[in-house]
Structure 1
């Protein structure tokens, strides 16, 4: 019997596969939202197939800002989780 939550090896593999699939779906959803938000905010001239230099710069800044925000949110969530865990251990 596997030590992880009392699951068998087959159950553990199935759980890991589901978690991996869910993480990929979450990542793709975040990527799609970022693309949609940046496109909507930056692209407004549809008279050319190519992006203008202004649109290209705007999208680049938007993507960088979104990724930096996601990174900072992840860091804050981790800090909050650690604080909460420490408080629970002290009780």
Structure 2
């Protein structure tokens, strides 16, 4: 199975971003980088996340640590939404037995 990827060098040149920014996202565990023959690549599956982080960083001036915090909070919100949906489902079961 081959994974479609773009080299970090090409991506940075095309979108005029700093390679160190991508490095900091990888260091924070926010994106995955793949090494092939001593060259670093970004899997296409990661690009939507990366584009979101680039907008946050360059348009909103949010540093990589802030991006990591925002991503964690969004993850927690999703968990809470799921928990609320589960509780609503359980409540409907009890309300239906009255």
- TM-score, L = length of structure 2: 0.36
Higher Cα Rg, which structure: 1
Answer 1 or 2: higher relative contact order, Cα 8 Å, separation at least 6.
Answer: 2
Structure whose residues are more often strand by fraction: 2
TM-score (norm 1): 0.39
